């Protein structure tokens, strides 16, 4: 969420910068400015009335309760009290209107985010490794996995529907191996604190990181209409689309000490996405599932460290691909392709020989104070100073399902077996090659 004061004081600039996103959000900026002015007037009047009321009330306390003066004064104050009550409800209303509008406005892209229209304008930043060469026609992971007997879509569809999967044997084992490998790398070598998290969160938590209110359709909401008390719960529950949501909100509502920063967390969680609007896209295979596993990196930083931390975070995510010796490239998202809450984002794209394409396997973003303002996460720069909003960052390190896909496709051999990356062999219990399951 943007700072209302900043928006009002820099109207032109905000309009201009949002224009780079090609966003329809610009229109609401003018409405917000109008409402902000109205809000100011209401608050001002309200305070005047209250000052008067407070002074009069102080006198009341000293008056003889049986005197005529008391009765007279009381009647006069009734008038003021009811006027205040009216203004208060007007005030509540306008605050709600403003924050509702503000919650729908995307973040301002950073200066270093290139201006562009869509993904085709994303500049290539760097590339690592080489496309593996095959003296045969490489298969895609679906064919490989089915032939090896380590993936089963049909039965998953039977029990859960489309976009779900069973993994078996070394397939299942490899998910577990990747999870442990990534957690160890980031935890032990990159210094992140491992954290295990709930995967069901309140709507306000989703609002904190920006998934709500605008992207409700992208997530799974829990239906607890079976609970006769549900209307008294005061909140909805959602399955998290990424560990970013619970982990970034870990310090929601808190004021951190400066020495606590940066807070760095690495979390493994299952992730759930409705994938509404992606009908017909990636219907085959493991690329786009309703449920997938991900190891996520989250950093909470001092504002002056925010943008620099994005480089560190991205390097940490890249290290996973390097250790696994998977060819990939890094692109910088342009303003038109940038996520709602992000100021700057690097995407890591891994090479998939079966698709002959680079596919996103990690997205590393710097949010500035966009999320911390929503989630109210602050820090005190120094003793006696006012709290300020922190900067938040997060990035996949990595999406496990897609890493599994990349390994199958980049490490496949002519006979349909798949070599296990050296770094992963210890985590696979010494298995060096995944061969067809006999069973």
Partner RNA sequence: GGAGGAGUGGCCGAGAGGUCGAAGGCGGCGGUCUUGAAAACCGUUGAACCGGCAACGGUUCCAUGGGUUCGAAUCCCAUCUCCUCCGCCA
363 a catalytic residue: yes
Count of residues in contact with RNA, rule CB under 7 A: 30
Q: Which of 386, 429, 438, 439: binder of RNA (CB under 7 A)?
A: 386
Pick 132 or 381: Cβ nearer RNA:
381
288 a catalytic residue: yes
Q: Considering only 226-234, 310-318, 339-347, 357-365, which stretch makes contact with RNA by CB under 7 A?
A: 226-234
126 a catalytic residue: no
User: In whole angstroms, what is the distance from residue 318 CA to residue 68 CA?
Assistant: 81
Residues 183-212, mask of contacts with RNA (x by CB under 7 A): ------------------------------
Pick 235 or 356: Cβ nearer RNA:
235
| 39, 207, 273, 374: the active-site residue | 273
399: tokens are 């999406």
137 a catalytic residue: no
Pick 154 or 259: Cβ nearer RNA:
259
Q: Which residues in the 8-67 window bind RNA by CB under 7 A?
A: 40, 43-44, 46-47, 50-51, 53-54, 56-58, 60-61, 65
Pick 56 or 115: Cβ nearer RNA:
56
Q: How far is the CB of 315 from RNA (least distance, A)?
A: 34
Q: Is 115 in the site for RNA (CB under 7 A)?
A: no
| 288, 323, 380, 419: the active-site residue | 288
Pick 281 or 386: Cβ nearer RNA:
386
Q: Which of 160, 233, 278, 283: binder of RNA (CB under 7 A)?
A: 233
Q: Is 232 in the site for RNA (CB under 7 A)?
A: yes
For 359-381, letters b (16+ CB in 10 Å) and e give bebbbbbbbbbbbbbbbebbbbb
Pick 82 or 283: Cβ nearer RNA:
82
Q: Which residues in the 247-276 window bind RNA by CB under 7 A?
A: none
Q: Is 234 in the site for RNA (CB under 7 A)?
A: yes
Pick 68 or 234: Cβ nearer RNA:
234
Q: Is 147 in the site for RNA (CB under 7 A)?
A: no
Q: Is 5 in the site for RNA (CB under 7 A)?
A: yes
For residue 432, the tally of other CB atoms under 10 A from its CB is 11
| 219, 335, 362, 363: the active-site residue | 363
Q: Is 74 in the site for RNA (CB under 7 A)?
A: yes
Catalytic annotation, residues? 273, 288, 360, 363, 402
Query: Would you tell me which residues interact with RNA (CB under 7 A)?
Result: 5, 40, 43-44, 46-47, 50-51, 53-54, 56-58, 60-61, 65, 74, 77-78, 80-81, 92, 229, 232-234, 383-384, 386-387
């Amino acid at each position: 969420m943007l700072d209302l004061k900043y928006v009002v004081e820099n109207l032109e600039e905000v309009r201009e910068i949002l224009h780079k996103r090609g966003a329809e959000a610009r229109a609401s900026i003018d409405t917000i400015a109008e409402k902000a002015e109205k809000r100011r007037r209401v608050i001002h009047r309200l305070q005047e009335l209250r000052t008067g009321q407070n002074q009069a009330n102080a006198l009341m306390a000293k008056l003889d309760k049986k005197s005529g003066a008391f009765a007279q004064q009381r009647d006069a104050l009734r008038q003021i009290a009811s006027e205040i009550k009216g203004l208060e409800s007007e005030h509540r209303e306008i605050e709600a209107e403003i924050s509702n509008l503000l919650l729908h406005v995307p973040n301002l892209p950073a200066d270093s985010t290139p201006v562009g229209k869509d993904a085709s304008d994303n500049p290539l930043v760097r590339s690592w490794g080489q496309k593996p060469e095959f003296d045969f026609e490489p298969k895609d992971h679906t064919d490989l996995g089915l032939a090896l007997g380590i993936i089963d879509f049909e039965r998953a569809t039977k029990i859960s529907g489309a976009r779900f999967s069973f993994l078996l044997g070394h397939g299942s084992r490899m998910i577990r191996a990747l999870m442990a490998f990534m957690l160890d790398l980031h935890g032990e070598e990159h210094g992140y604190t491992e954290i295990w998290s709930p995967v069901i969160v309140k709507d306000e938590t989703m609002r904190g990181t920006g998934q709500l209110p605008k992207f409700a359709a992208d997530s799974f909401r829990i239906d607890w209409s079976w609970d006769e008390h549900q209307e008294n719960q005061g909140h909805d529950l959602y399955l998290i689309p990424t560990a970013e949501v619970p982990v970034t909100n870990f310090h929601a509502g808190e004021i951190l000490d400066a020495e606590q920063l940066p807070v760095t967390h690495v979390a493994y969680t299952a992730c759930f996405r409705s994938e509404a609007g992606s009908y017909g896209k990636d219907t085959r295979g493991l690329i786009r599932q309703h449920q997938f596993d991900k190891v996520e990196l989250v950093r909470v930083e001092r504002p002056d460290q925010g943008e620099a931390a994005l480089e560190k975070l991205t390097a940490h995510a890249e290290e996973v691909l390097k250790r696994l010796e998977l060819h990939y490239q890094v692109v910088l998202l342009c303003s038109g392709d940038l996520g709602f809450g992000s100021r700057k984002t690097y995407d890591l794209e891994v090479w998939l020989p079966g698709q002959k394409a680079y596919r996103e396997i990690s997205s590393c973003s710097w949010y500035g104070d966009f999320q911390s303002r929503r989630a109210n996460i602050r820090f005190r720069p120094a003793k006696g100073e006012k709290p300020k909003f922190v900067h938040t960052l997060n990035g996949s390190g990595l999406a496990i399902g897609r890493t599994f896909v990349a390994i199958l496709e980049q490490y496949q051999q002519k006979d349909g077996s798949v070599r296990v990356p050296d770094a992963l062999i210890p985590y696979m219990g010494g298995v060096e090659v995944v061969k067809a399951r006999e069973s």
